[in-house]
Amino acid sequence: MDLPVINSIPSSGEPAAGGGCASHSCGSTDDQLGHLPEHIRAKVHNHPCYSEQAHHYFARMHVAVAPACNIQCHYCNRKYDCSNESRPGVVSEVLTPEQAVKKVMAVAANIPQMTVLGIAGPGDPLANPERTFATFRELSEKAPDIKLCVSTNGLALPESVEELAKHNIDHVTITINCVDPDVGAQIYPWVFWNNRRVMGREGAAILIEQQQKGLEMLTARGILVKVNSVMIPGVNDQHLAEVSKVVKAKGAFLHNVMPLIAEPEHGTFYGLMGQASPTPEELQALQDACSGDMNMMRHCRQCRADAVGLLGEDRGLEFTLDKIEDMEIDYAAAMVKRAEVHAQIAQELEQKEQERQFQAQAKAALIALRGEPEVTTRPVLMAVSTKGGGVINEHFGHAREFLVYEASGNGVRFIGHRKTTPYCEGGSSCGEGESALDETLRVLKGCEVVLSAKIGFEPWAPLEAAGIQPNGEHAMEPIEEAIAAVYAEMRAAGRLDASIEPQQKVA
Amino acid sequence: MSLEIIESCVNCYACEPLCPNDAIYQASPHFLIDPDKCTECLGDFDHAQCASICPIEGAIVDELGVALNLPGSLTGISAEMLAKYQAAVEAAYQAALDAKAG
């Protein structure tokens, strides 16, 4: 395939519609990865959990080999094993390292886009060092084309750094919810440290010290560190901007602020206490506040400790122990196929990158010619439904989540995702979708447009009534280009004057 | 003297490597303690190691059947809250059944 360097020039001679740039990596998107040093970009370009762009193309999996934990968090219930929930710390079956290796190879052979294997629980991987490192050791021998990463609470991190480096694990995620023991005391009831259970503030202080020490040790060795934080309104929401500053200063390269998940039926302390979770707006405001200091991650799906597939999908049921038992895997052949698929995706991404650079240059040239354009249009949130690949290819009624983007005079930027219950599961039995539609209308609050591959007649009027314009005209088009085009239409129609308030009717 | 792991154990493995006497072993449906080997950590540690890391209140008991970790002591979840939890679980289960029945 030729690289269409010339083809990417918009035929009109104008930069893409929507105020100059259709790519998420330019304009005001200071939280994207575009400006990272080349050696870091090379490490994350195909890692779905580290690169927003990669998550449309590459898949990840977690293997649940680490059931033990050395701390208690108030958002976690240690009586895991719920097959119907999708959230961190939950798994269906705990695997031995041998079973995990077999599962990883089966998935890698069947889902060639799977580039990353993470160990994330359901307890703390570093509180299960033998099981965790046995899995890594065998995989690095048998499946050298898979990236290995680990997610930890950080308590046992300093003592594990040597071993992590030995297994070539160059992506580590530390969950850091606070740098202040008084805040920590409201999140962690105890930690297990030096052969005793340490309660309250004292325990939180130990955890914080170890996390910070571990972070420094990892970055000193050039290991990439992402920091996850759970946003808990009234507990650490005011504190997380400080956390972001501190971890950036110590060399973390990406900060992922996630909303608390707390429902009574989860049986967690927060769930039973009625602790509120942040709204999408509150989460976005905090992410924006942190983004001045730090690269922010906004595409996290808070997946299960045994998730399989693209972020936002879970194909774990295709790879249960009894099913992989019957699979014959020729990994040498699989590696060849995997390399081909990865090369194809890399080529596609390379084209997009060239297009992005071209448009950035075109925009710069235009600004040099005419001066900085005055931004007079207001930003608009739009939701899209996608099955992956960076295009609008999911029907409205089938969407389990919507990706939310902000279009403005500065371009299009990714804001986050919102989960919902699919309005209809397909077929002709869509008659009883009212409550699911109500849920979708609620999660799309703040969005003025929803773009899907197809939107049925039934949800059309309720969407319009709620001030959300349904749009099925951009099926199979790249997400950001479609959004930029819709934004340009809205501008042409005079709907983007800064003085016009969006017509939102959803409570 | 010996401690005992009872049925509320969730098989998280946390206790097994900590036992100074290798008294804890994996069994079905849950981990068990060999009463001939368990010393309740006397002479080795100030606190029984298994009970010091176990996240499940009440899962480890002494010879008299008394829990080493009392309800609410580890999670802050009181008996009252636990009842609320059970009601919520039952409601969710019932809703799933109703949805299935259509």
Looking at this predicted complex, what is its ipTM? 0.90
Q: What is the pLDDT of residue A71?
A: 96
Q: Is the pLDDT of residue B101 over 90?
A: no
Q: For residues A397 and A457, is the Cβ–Cβ distance under 8 A?
A: no
Report whether the peptide linkage leading into residue A122 is cis, meaning its omega lies within 30 degrees of zero: yes
B45 interfacial to chain A (CB closer than 8 Å): yes
Q: Is the pLDDT of residue A74 over 50?
A: yes
Domain that holds residue A120: 38-329
A127 interfacial to chain B (CB closer than 8 Å): yes
Among A194, A65, A193, A191, CA closest to A130: A65
Q: What is the pLDDT of residue A33?
A: 54
At position A93, the amino acid (one-letter code) is: E
Q: Where a domain ends, among A293, A313, A329? A: A329
User: CATH number, domain at A397?
Assistant: 3.30.420.130
- Least Cα separation, residue A200 to chain B (angstroms): 10
Q: Is the pLDDT of residue A192 over 80?
A: yes
User: CATH number, domain at A162?
Assistant: 3.20.20.70
Neighbours of A293 (CB within 10 A): 16
A71/A172 same-domain check: yes
Bridge partners of residue A259, in order along the sequence = A231
Smallest CA–CA distance from B53 into chain A, residue: A192
A405/A302 same-domain check: no
Tally of structural domains, chain A: 2
Q: Where a domain ends, among A312, A329, A346? A: A329
Q: Do B74 and A192 touch (CB under 8 A)?
A: no
A303/A405 same-domain check: no
Q: Do A128 and B46 touch (CB under 8 A)?
A: no
A267/A398 same-domain check: no
Among A472, A79, A394, CA closest to B12: A79
A392/A323 same-domain check: no
B12 interfacial to chain A (CB closer than 8 Å): yes
- Least Cα separation, residue A361 to chain B (angstroms): 55
A408/A324 same-domain check: no
Q: For residues A390 and A479, is the Cβ–Cβ distance under 8 A?
A: yes
The 10s digit of each residue's pLDDT in A240-273 is 999 999 999 999 989 999 999 988 878 889 988 8
Among A162, A157, A172, A304, CA closest to A226: A172
Q: What is the pLDDT of residue A88?
A: 57
Among A94, A108, A111, CA closest to A142: A108
A444 inside domain:
yes
Among A292, A437, A390, CA closest to A57: A390
Cα Rg of chain A (Å, integer):
23
Q: What is the pLDDT of residue A506?
A: 43
C-alpha atoms less than 13 angstroms from C-alpha of A507 in its C-beta half-sphere: 1
A425/A322 same-domain check: no
Instruction: State the DSSP H helix or E strand holding residue A440, giving kind and residue range, or none if neither.
Output: helix A434-443
Q: Is the pLDDT of residue A26 over 70?
A: no
Q: Do B13 and A197 touch (CB under 8 A)?
A: no
Cα Rg of chain B (Å, integer):
17
Spell out which residues of chain B touch residue A85, defining contact as CB-CB under 8 Å. none
Smallest CA–CA distance from A121 into chain B, residue: B12
Q: Is the pLDDT of residue A2 over 60?
A: no
Pairing of strands A171-175, A59-62: unpaired
A123/A236 same-domain check: yes
A310/A211 same-domain check: yes
Among A369, A374, A399, CA closest to A387: A399
- Least Cα separation, residue A289 to chain B (angstroms): 32
A265 interfacial to chain B (CB closer than 8 Å): yes
B36 interfacial to chain A (CB closer than 8 Å): no
A152 inside domain:
yes
Q: Where a domain ends, among A329, A363, A393? A: A329
Q: What is the pLDDT of residue A39?
A: 74
A395/A306 same-domain check: no
Q: Is the pLDDT of residue A364 over 80?
A: yes
The 10s digit of each residue's pLDDT in B1-33 is 899 999 999 989 999 999 999 999 999 889 999
A312/A396 same-domain check: no
> What is the 8-class DSSP label of residue A150?
E
Name the phi and psi angles at A380, rounded to 5. Answer: -130, 135
DSSP string, A333-381: HHHHHHHHHHHHHHHHHHHHHHHHHHHHHHHHHHHHHH-SPP--BPPEE
A319/A381 same-domain check: no
A308 vs A109 pLDDT, higher one = A109
Angle between helices A200-220 and A157-166 (to 10 degrees): 30
Predicted TM-score (pTM) of the model is 0.79
DSSP string, A284-314: HHHHHHHHTTS-B--------TT-EESTT--
